[in-house]
Amino acid sequence: MKEAGKAEGKQGPDPVELARRLAALAEQGQGVMSDGIKTAAQDDGFQIPAPEVVGDAFMQIARQWMSDPFRAAEAQVALWRDYVTLWINLGRRMRGDEVIPVVAPARDDKRFADKAWNEEVAYDFVKQAYLIGSQWMVGQVKAMPGLDAETKRKGEFYTRQFVDALAPTNFVALNPQVLRETVETGGENLVRGLENMIADMKRGRGRLDISMTDFAQFELGKNIATSPGKVVFQNDLMQLIQYAPSTPQVYRRPLLIVPPWINKFYILDLQPRNSFIKWAVDQGLTVFVVSWVNPDKRLAAKTFDDYMTEGPLAALDAIEKATGEKSVNIIGYCIGGTLTAATLAYTAAKGDDRINAATFFTALTDFEDSGELRVFIDEVQLEKLETHVREKGYLESRHMSNVFNMMRDNDLIWSFVVNNYLRGRKPMAFDLLYWNADATRMPAAMHSFYLRKMYLENKLIEPGGIEMKGVPIDLRKIEIPVYQLSTETDHIAPWRATYSPSQIYSGSYKFVLSGSGHIAGVVNPPSARKYCYWTNPNNPPKPDDWLRDATRHEGSWWPDWFSWIEPLSGDKVKARVPGSGKLKPIEEAPGSYVKLRASD
């Protein structure tokens, strides 16, 4: 009986129940399609990337390819040579011979982790055939002469998107893990996958909004962003949070953190174990954090100037009222760092010395080599964006999410397509991906200025290139101590591009390079014992010269930063309780602004 039961268990799902579920899904699908039609009707057709921009890039590549028939023929011969070698190796492997692969995936390519891709001849053949073709396509664009840098950058990026979408791992019949589970469950995984897809489309109101984590497992203030504190000040653009001390004494000089407003501040306060904010408080620092609002159409006219005035400058005034201290140290993260640099140049021009020392996390001030984000920024695309946001009042959060996800498409798109829709699994509860999905909008005026003046025209690095509140600013006037933290594999703020302030700022300057990327390289607590960082007491003109002579240290850079900031933080005073100064608490941290989710 037990054996019969086991055999019966292998027969898969009940066909009647399966038919009922499929019928229910079909009905739900009709509703989703209806929602999609309504959503599309309310839209103006704006997309990032713009299809015509992608098409134009490929047209230029095609013309360049055809302009040199000899080179094209030579490239095709090289491609076919690799495929012939693969076919020969296939025959040898089928005879049981050991052969050297024609090509192998990169060490960090997780798509081919299943052992079948190496052990089973057919799957190994499919894998290598794909890698030969995909690497050849990307390589041809990368090496193609006669293309301007912008077209080549776009060509490489969109070719990569194309070949990543065609990976055999993304198809049921070609993915050994998915195929095994399909056979074992009688297709139950695919039905669950369809249920997951329809649920994601419902959440996206007809657009596919891929779930990256189990959203139900997190609640702000409950098990994420939990460091105790109070909102002590707010205006249209931000709430200012003062965190409760965890030591009987604190350093006199407060610390102000200016996070990016492209995402939310709690990347620095995910869980107690990896919270930079909690760690800084535990070191005896009085920490204030700007929590930016998630803007809507009412804030469409807010400018980059407004973000400075109602952000760090307003925070300086509030901190003085809360603590009695005029002088603060400041941290600027990503675009928050770009704003911080502009603010420092502005305060220098105005003779305002309230900021004593500055730290920058993965922040660009020189946008000449600003990485893959440049793919989305040119005159044509900016004009389309400006036309779109002029009517809307803001750039929808989904557009920014799509851009950042495309930059890491295998990790942030295709891995979830396979997990959620082909394997029919729910994504795991992961604090970082919960934060990643908690996207924000961009006010029209601010975003247009930022993209045009920074990315397109690179005016911030130019003395007097931009004005803040009518004052021409010059980064060379920044004379305070600076600690610049960049990350080795940053795809948003490439570390070599972030190094240029070493030759611009006039005060003491320490550049530190952390292992990993834009987020993991920053959110790397000492207890994790992960990654590494490099330091160099000298600042040669070229970043590669800096790295060549740098010293590698294992683990987190956080203690190194504290050893730098501690002597700049003043003497010890009695710990300050939020609300004990002239500013009374408005509400508990993390506040209400951070809880406003975008619903585009």
Where in the chain are the domains?
15-203, 229-412+428-595
| pTM of the predicted structure, to 2 decimals | 0.91
Q: What is the pLDDT of residue 7?
A: 39
How far apart CA 476 and CA 462 sit, in angstroms, is: 10
How far apart CA 75 and CA 62 sit, in angstroms, is: 14
The answer to whether residue 532 is catalytic is: no
pLDDT digits 0-9 by tens, 517-575: 999 999 999 999 999 999 999 999 999 999 999 999 999 999 999 999 999 999 999 99
Q: What are phi and psi of 366, to 5 degrees?
A: -105, 115
Strands 509-514 and 442-443: unpaired
Contact (Cβ atoms closer than 8 angstroms) between residue 437 and residue 413: no
* CA distances, 120 to each of 176, 177, 330 (Å): 10, 12, 56
* CA distances, 140 to each of 85, 136, 147, 371 (Å): 20, 6, 12, 20
DSSP assignment string, 259-274: --SSS-GGGGSSSGGG
- Give 512's strand partners: 485, 535
Q: Which residues have C-beta within 8 Å of that of residue 393, sequence separation ≥ 6?
A: 296, 297, 298, 299, 300, 443, 444
Q: Give me the residues of the chain with pLDDT under 70, please.
A: 1-44, 599-600
462 by DSSP, 3-state: which? coil
* CA angle, 317 then 484 then 475, to 5°: 65
Tokens of 16: 């009647």
Q: Which residues have C-beta within 8 Å of that of residue 105, sequence separation ≥ 6?
A: 111, 112, 127, 131
How far apart CA 312 and CA 88 sit, in angstroms, is: 65
Q: What is the pLDDT of residue 548?
A: 96
- Omega before 49 cis (within 30°)? yes
Length of the chain (residues) = 600
Sequence-ordered alpha helix ranges (H) in 95-219: 116-119, 121-143, 149-165, 176-185, 188-203
* CA angle, 342 then 346 then 348, to 5°: 120
pLDDT digits 0-9 by tens, 54-92: 999 999 999 988 888 888 899 999 999 999 999 999 999
Spacing of C-alpha 389 from chain mean position: 22
Q: What is the pLDDT of residue 4?
A: 35
How far apart CA 336 and CA 144 sit, in angstroms, is: 37
Give the active site residue among 334, 358, 389, 513: 334
302-319 burial code (b ≥16 CB/10 A, e <16):
bbbbbbbbbbbbbbbebb
Q: What is the pLDDT of residue 205?
A: 78
Q: Which residues have C-beta within 8 Å of that of residue 505, sequence separation ≥ 6?
A: 475, 476, 478, 479, 482
Q: What is the pLDDT of residue 35?
A: 58
> Which residue from 459, 457, 507, 462 is spatially nearest to 484, judged by alpha carbons?
507
* Domain 229-412+428-595 of CATH type 3.40.50.1820: yes
